[in-house]
Amino acid sequence: KNQVEQSPQSLIILEGKNCTLQCNYTVSPFSNLRWYKQDTGRGPVSLTIMTFSENTKSNGRYTATLDADTKQSSLHITASQLSDSASYICVVGLSGGYNKLIFGAGTRLAVHP
């Protein structure tokens, strides 16, 4: 069964600190892995997309890693800001004619001053 699992479910950090979110997946046939940021009550916004041949990709203070052998990914947030408070969703894309996406349940991050 195609599945994406994220940990932790929720996380509280202080402003300025770094944090790392984890994602494990069992999805086939794998095409790509994405991280989305979703603010409360709004739609997800893409942060990074990686194929199996890429093992790291950055977008500002966000750095995603991918280990296709162990089927694990992480999202590292550097020097957190209050605006980073959101849900971070790991999504695996399947090969196919349209975007077949398998979503994780997300990690709820709260950044406190």
Binding residues for other proteins (CB under 8 A): 4, 31-32, 41-46, 49, 51, 89, 95-99, 101, 103-106
Q: Report which of 59, 16, 37 is spatially closest to residue 107, judged by C-alpha positions.
A: 37
Beta carbon nearer to other proteins, 43 or 113: 43
At closest approach, how far in Å is the CB of 59 from other proteins? 13
Distance CA 25, CA 84 (A): 24
Beta carbon nearer to other proteins, 13 or 94: 94
Structure tokens at 68: 């296709």
Q: What are phi and psi of 7, to 5 degrees?
A: -145, 150
Beta carbon nearer to other proteins, 19 or 34: 34
